[in-house]
Amino acid sequence: MATLSRSLGPWMLWGLGVGYVISGMYFGWNLGLPLGGTLGMAIATIGAILLYITFTFSYAELACAIPRAGGVFDYATRGLNRDWGFVAGVAQLIEFLFAPPAIAAAIGAYFHLFLPGVGAKEIGVVAYVLFTALNIYGVRAAAGFELAVTIVAVLELLLFCGVTFPHFSWKNIEHNAFPHGWVGVCASVPFAVWFFLGLEGLANVAEEAVKPKRNIPLGFGSALATLIVLCVIVYLASIGVGGWEAIVYPSPGADASDSPLPLALSRITGTGGLVYHLLVTIGLMGLIASFHGIILAAGRATLEFGRVRYLPAALGRVNERRQTPVNALVLNMVIGIVALLSGRTDQIVTISVLGAVTLYIFGMVTVLALRRKEPELERPYRAPGYPVTPVVALVIGLACLVALVWLNIILSVIYISILGLAYIWFHFFVKRRIAYEQSDSNR
């Protein structure tokens, strides 16, 4: 079986955990403000924080007990059955394959501020090629780069808050705070989840972690604590400068922006000052950290499908020299570029969040199922507050899924169709091939 090298210590795991997610502080979340307003989006975000606290502390139990690159795919296959494991794995792939195109679009939007003659999507394609190449080069180099850009991104967010908070006004928070009532809260859910989406990717590198039974829980906990603090201060600092409309629409009647932080800064510094350009330039580090990190996690998820031959076996190979899943990374890049060129950011975000919420539901069901099915399984780390913790995460996850489907019918049909077509492939082709090979080996 293809093997990955163990080279990720606690600091690198923290860097990956924060790096996967930190782009959610830079863009995407502001697209929920026209739907929920300041208060509606805040309520949805509090729900998302509770979801991630209960989910990550429960999911870490699975990552420590079954440290495999496939994440929820491996957990659900063992805790439920092969069919449900496949569905959970496809949902994970959808999350990891659709999140990078949305981030690539934001990278393009940020660069477009400085290079107006170059299209944002073209810049996104170049980013895909560059960071896929870095991931192919080696996991230690990739994780080291991730740690460096994540530290810079965190410092930049703190600097952004330092510049904007002196201009904070509570009146801007209260302005048009609840425009669509509780329907707006439900509509804001995917953008609140986007604040933290991707943290679960830490489980996919457990196979490459040094002392995973100790360091994976540390990585989850320290990363989540960092992200919650950043989420709260960025939310308040951005909206407090000029109201939520100021960080959604560059001008009255314009399309929603993928660059909310530069919009907030421009209210203070204008668009030509040194501070504005410095912060926007450094701000790209946050987008790059998440983009690069989720590419890394996605490669491991696709690798695991190739290992068990649910996808072509070539995708399950690890390059002997680089010890990275080259074929899986290249395929993911091609799919991501197609999504980038064909979709809108809000639609791509929503499909990615649908995959993520499905993952969360399967993950929590698996925690409960494995406790009953395999009580003797070695669990170096146990979810605190069990069974309340995974049950709370499961209930919130189901509520999020209902809200997402209810308010995004067409995108939900597309998402469910992808799951359905994948399962048809699995049931009629993969399972038959596996059954044939097993019967042939028994002869």
**Average pLDDT score over residue span 247-273:** 84
Calpha distance 247→266 (Å, rounded): 10
140-172 pLDDT per residue, tens: 777 788 888 889 889 989 989 999 999 999 999
Residue 257 carries which DSSP code? P
- Which pLDDT does position 1 carry in this prediction? 46
End-to-end, the C-alpha distance of the chain in Å comes to: 24
Q: Which tokens is 56 given? A: 């990550």
Calpha distance 31→273 (Å, rounded): 26
Q: Would the pLDDT of 18 be above 70?
A: yes
CB-CB neighbours of 53 under 10 Å:
18
Residue matched to tokens 């048809």? 424
pLDDT band at 343 (very low <50, low <70, confident <90, very high): low
CA dihedral 251, 252, 255, 257 (to 10 degrees): 40
pLDDT band at 245 (very low <50, low <70, confident <90, very high): very high
Q: What Å distances lie between residue 405 and 41, 89, 419, CA to CA?
A: 18, 20, 14
Model-level pTM? 0.86
CB-CB neighbours of 126 under 10 Å:
15
- Which pLDDT does position 3 carry in this prediction? 58
Helix (H) or strand (E) segment spanning residue 432: helix 431-441
Cβ-in-10-Å burial (0-12, 13-18, 19+) of 289 comes to: buried
CB–CB of 258/348 below 8 Å?
no
